[in-house]
Structure formats: C-alpha cells, structure tokens
Amino acid sequence: MPITKSAIKANKQSAKKRLQNLKKKRLLKETIKKTRSEKDLAKAQSVIDKAAKTKYIHKNKAARLKSRLAKKISGKK
C-alpha cells in the first residue's frame, strides 16, 4: 500500500487511466472486427484516427490498420 500522499494520488490516477485505456482498446477492437461495408469503414477509420490522435496507438499503426481495412472491404466487392 502506498504511504505518501503523492503515491496514493498516483495510484488513483493510474487506475483511472487503466480503465480509460481498456475502454479505448475494447472499442477499437470491436469496431475493427465489425467492419463489413463502406459505411462501417468510415466509422472504423474515425475510431482509429481518434485513437492515434490521443496517442493510444502510433500514427503509423493507425495508417496500417486503415489501409488493411480498406483493402479488405474493396476485395469483397
């Protein structure tokens, strides 16, 4: 258990941040898996861009994910 005030605060902040990151991770994964059409692709790209903007994922990874999704959707036509 943390003893100092700053350690207690840091513990609270890290727990809060962990929950936020889990929520973002879950949203990102679910959105990517549910992408089936052009309409879904636009929503998925938006979610990926937001994750990259908030530095949850690296911008190059975001570009790679969007590219692969677009390729997957265009291949189904």
pLDDT above 90 for 28: yes
User: How is the chain split into domains, by residue range?
Assistant: 37-77
| SS3 label, residue 58 | coil
Model pLDDT for residues 44-68, shown as the tens digit of each residue: 999 999 999 999 999 999 999 999 9
Are 44 and 31 a contacting pair, CB within 8 Å? yes
Please report the pLDDT score of residue 2 as a whole number: 86
Global confidence as pTM: 0.79
Please report the pLDDT score of residue 75 as a whole number: 83
